[in-house]
Amino acid sequence: MFVIFGATGKVGQTTARTLRQAGLPVRAVVRDPAQAAGLKQLGCELIQADLLDSAAVATAIKGAYAVQMLCPMVPNHDPQATSTMRRMIATAATALAEHPPALVLGLSDYGAELDQGTGITLLFHELEQALKPVQSRLILLRSAEHLQNWSRMLPVALGTGVLPSLHSPVDRPFPTVSAHDVGLAAASLLQQDRSGHATRIISMEGPQRVSVQDVADTLADLLGKPVKPWAMPREEWAARLSGIGYSADNAQLLIDLYDTHNAGGIEAEAGSERLYGESPLRTVLAGLLAQASTPAR
């Protein structure tokens, strides 16, 4: 049994779908079964579990050969985001230690080797550290920033012709990757039969690095109208994040991350294995625009 936590997310859905297409049994762990109809149609076993519920997590991983674990995210408005995510990580790690599967794949992040100054990526570091003592083969799949994150800014770009970003400067390329490609890579890694308990650390990014300027230019070409990139002034970050619903704690996690990112401190760890996705920027942005223009049902 392959157990996928966060199975309704962009990475988790792709992993689950790919494993099912290979004829493998998949248990999809979700918070809200109502959002998992597609997974059920694929033949996934659905189980509802909150990562704060140790008994539910233990039930979810019962009988698993492999478990794909994510760093749990909480709603932007959570006033205690850091402590909530740390409790979720501890709950998941304890359950895995008590019921270790043959293989654990942890979905992690570029910069997760760093133990300070990385904001929300520090939670990925803590997830990795919590998983390492588990008596399972461990794969840490660290991905660059997901291109799908630009969907949050599409309404602004469409409405104003301006693409805001915390990245600065806007013409500096940085590593990105499609979440779909990460899900495909995870499904492939979960099916690889390797012996031993050595931890594999794999850094994954897309076929080429992109800048905010590249994103804006590609959007402009797809839309047939100008789109201008705009690096939001550092002194305005906290107020702007608060204005769109971020709690002070969650906003600070992002601020710390982008301070380190803009200083060049977020990179693939030297010596890690490397994987490269195939989805180009234009293909991903075209898909996001298609989704944005599709009426909700």
CA-based max dimension of the chain: 56
User: Which pLDDT score, from 0 to 100, does residue 214 have?
Assistant: 98
Instruction: In whole angstroms, give the CA distance from residue 47 to residue 30.
Output: 6
CATH class of the 2-293 domain in this structure: alpha beta
User: Which pLDDT score, from 0 to 100, does residue 292 have?
Assistant: 85
Residue 23, C-beta contacts closer than 8 angstroms, at least 6 positions apart: none
Q: Is the dihedral of CA 95, 98, 100, 105 positive or negative?
A: positive
Instruction: In whole angstroms, give the CA distance from residue 12 to residue 179.
Output: 9
- Three-state SS for 270? coil
Q: For residue range 145-162, what is the model confidence (pLDDT) as tens digits?
A: 999 999 999 999 999 999
User: Which pLDDT score, from 0 to 100, does residue 17 have?
Assistant: 97
Work out the average pLDDT over 260-278: 96
Strands 176-177, 145-146: pairing kind: parallel
- pTM score of the predicted model: 0.95
User: Which pLDDT score, from 0 to 100, does residue 296 have?
Assistant: 45
Q: For residue range 7-33, what is the model confidence (pLDDT) as tens digits?
A: 999 999 999 999 999 999 999 999 888
Backbone angles phi and psi of 159, in degrees to 5: -85, -30
User: Which pLDDT score, from 0 to 100, does residue 294 have?
Assistant: 57
Work out the average pLDDT over 261-267: 96
Residue 165, C-beta contacts closer than 8 angstroms, at least 6 positions apart: 153, 212, 229, 230, 231, 232
User: Which pLDDT score, from 0 to 100, does residue 196 have?
Assistant: 66
Q: For residue range 100-143, what is the model confidence (pLDDT) as tens digits?
A: 999 999 999 999 999 999 999 999 999 999 999 999 999 999 99
Beta strand extents in 49-172 (DSSP E only) = 66-70, 103-109, 137-143, 145-146, 162-165
- Residue ranges of domains in the chain: 2-293
**pLDDT, the chain, mean:** 94
Half-sphere exposure in the Cβ direction for 95 (13 Å, CA): 25
Q: For residue range 45-62, what is the model confidence (pLDDT) as tens digits?
A: 999 999 999 999 999 999
